[in-house]
Structures are given as C-alpha cells and as structure tokens.
Amino acid sequence: MASVAASVEAIVQAAGPHVPVLLARVEERLVELAGGHGPVLAEHAGATIAAGGKRLRPLLVLLAAGPPGAEAPAIVPAAAAVELVHSATLVHDDVLDSASLRRGLPTVWATGGRALAVATGDLLFSRAFSELAATGSVASVRALSRASSALAEGELLQRQDAWNAAVAVDRYLYRCELKTARLFEASCELGALAAGRQNGTVARLGAFGRGVGLAFQLLDDVLDVSGSASNTGKHRGTDLLDGTVTLPLILARERDAELAGMDLRREIVTPEQAEALCERIEATGALVDAQARALAIVAEAKVQLNGLALEGGQRTALELVADSVVDRQS
C-alpha cells in the first residue's frame, strides 16, 4: 500500500527505531514458518509469504505492544501469527474465487491447483496457532481463534449475500467486521497481551483495532469503485462483477431509483458495464459519503486511546496508522 509505505517513516519517527527492526524479524520468522513442512508446501507457502502485502496487521501488533513490548519474547511470534492467519485466508479466498492473480503474482490456486491451495491455507492456519501457542499465552490463542472463526463466517456471509443488491447497511457492516475488523482487533489485542498490559487496556486497544479494520474495509470498497487500475492493480468495479455488494452501491441505490432496479447478475457482466456502473455510483455522491463514514469510524476508534497510558510516541504512531488506512489511493 503506497500511502502506508509513505507514512512508515512518520510512524517510525513517532514509535521508535525498534519498529523496523522487529518488522524485519517478523519477515524472517514468516519465512522460517512457511518452510519446514516438505518442499512443496515450503515452495507455495513461501511464495504466498514472499508475495508480501502491507504487513499492516503485524505493524499493529508491534505498535499496540509499544516500546516495552519490543523486549517481550512473544511480540514477533504474535505478529507472525496474525499475518499467517491473514495469508491463510487469502490462499483459501483465491480457491473460492478461482483467482489467478493476487498482488500481480500468480496465486497458489493458479500455480498448484485447488488441492495444494487448500492444504497450503490449512498449513498456514495451523502454523499460526502453533507459533502463538509457543509464546505460552492462552489469551492470545483465544483472541486469534475468535478472529479466525469470524473470518470464516464473514467469507461465507459475503458469498451468501452475493448478487443481493438489497442487502442492508447493517448487514454489510457486520460482514466487514467479520471479514476484516476482527483480525485487526486481535492484532492489537495480541500486541497488548505480549507487552503484558492490563485487561482494560487490552480491550481498549482491541476496540481501536476493530475500528481501524472496519474503516480499512470500507475504504477498500470505496477504492474498488473509485480507484484507477494504475493505483489499485485491478480494474474498477471488480467487486460488482463478483456480485459483492458494498457500501457505495448500497448508498447509491438509495439515491438512484433506476440503479436500484438493476439486476447486477444480468446487467453487469463486462468490465465496461462495471466501469459505467462505478461512474453512476460516484455520480450519486455515495463514494464521498462512504469515505466520510470510514473517517468517522477512524475518529471514533482513536477515542478508544484516550486516557490509556501509552509510551512515548506510541499513541501518535497508532493514530498515524489509523489515518493512513482512510487516506490512501490503493
């Protein structure tokens, strides 16, 4: 994510030089964890990890832990574990979507087939729990497994609601919570737990993470309608072509009666039709409103940090991440 990358300097400036050091150790650990289960899995799990991504969840683990957490032995394993669960979900999603490319690289599904992709995802899941259990924190394992259950439920909800343009805003938000916000929440909880923080602080940092995750998903959905392919790496309206009904479309339907009467599955079949629908959604002002909603959620999330005893620039760093999530073009 270009904008998060651009703000990494500012985040490090605020949080301290231990953050890039730990992030590098997380990368090393991810490579180790992807290996060690036979050459085939090592190749595909390794490729999945190496394909990278924003590493936003590990970053949240480190920032929620704060400077004292940097010393905690559980911090790197916790950061690696959340990224493994995230990666596992992506590999399985690609099976469900029969997706050939992710982040511009061939998916495990494309290179190795369905069986390999399902097994690779299962392995990444298992390794995540193994890594986290090794830290000795039962509370962390529980937090991660709650998030991982939510991910599975969210993925299903999305498929269940596919092509149903009449889905309500609340149900859409609940889906975002399951699909995205809960793992962000767990990331902050895991960081706080690794740093040995009190229950109240763990819960508040978790609530912060949940808001950031929710806003992140909302903005992803806005970008799918507004973003240009050169920024996001995919064409506008891919969600629409997949039948995934997101907030921009839900809001636009309330404002444009003809659009509300449209049958997505029949009328939005080509990339050109999706592009045209994106413009039509944008014309209703739905994108601006959806983005405003994401900004409001971030503002609310930041309130969770009030009154917490956070070290040095920790709060600033967390707020910068929250802002970067809604202030991005890809």
What three-state secondary structure class fits 106? strand
Long-range pairs, 89-92, Cβ under 8 A, ≥24: 89/121, 89/151, 89/155, 90/48, 91/48, 91/117, 91/120, 91/121, 91/124, 92/117, 92/118, 92/121, 92/155
CA contacts within 13 A on the Cβ side of 33: 34
Q: How far is the CB of 196 from a copy of itself (least distance, A)?
A: 16
Classify the C-alpha dihedral 240-246-248-254 as positive or negative. positive
DSSP 229-243: HHHHSS-TTHHHHHT
Binding mask 17-56 for a copy of itself (x = CB under 8 A): --------------------xx-xx---------------
The residue range among 126-134, 237-245, 261-269, 283-291 that interacts with a copy of itself, by the rule CB under 8 A, is: 126-134
Least distance to a copy of itself, CB of residue 164, Å: 14
Q: Which of 330, 162, 180 is nearest to 239 (CA)?
A: 162
**Residue from 31, 53, 68, 129 that binds a copy of itself (CB under 8 A)?**
129
Q: From the centroid of its chain, how far is CA 151?
A: 10
Question: In the set 3, 13, 111, 130, which binds a copy of itself (CB under 8 A)?
Answer: 130
Which of residues 48, 107, 120, 246 is near a copy of itself by CB under 8 A? 120
Q: What residues numbered 157-196 form the site for a copy of itself, per CB under 8 A?
A: 157, 159-160
294 is an interface residue for a copy of itself by CB under 8 A: no
User: Least Å distance between CB 199 and a copy of itself?
Assistant: 16
Task: Report the interface residues with a copy of itself, using CB under 8 A.
Answer: 37-38, 40-41, 88-89, 92, 95-96, 114-116, 118-123, 125-127, 129-130, 132-134, 136-138, 141-142, 144-146, 148-149, 151-153, 155-157, 159-160
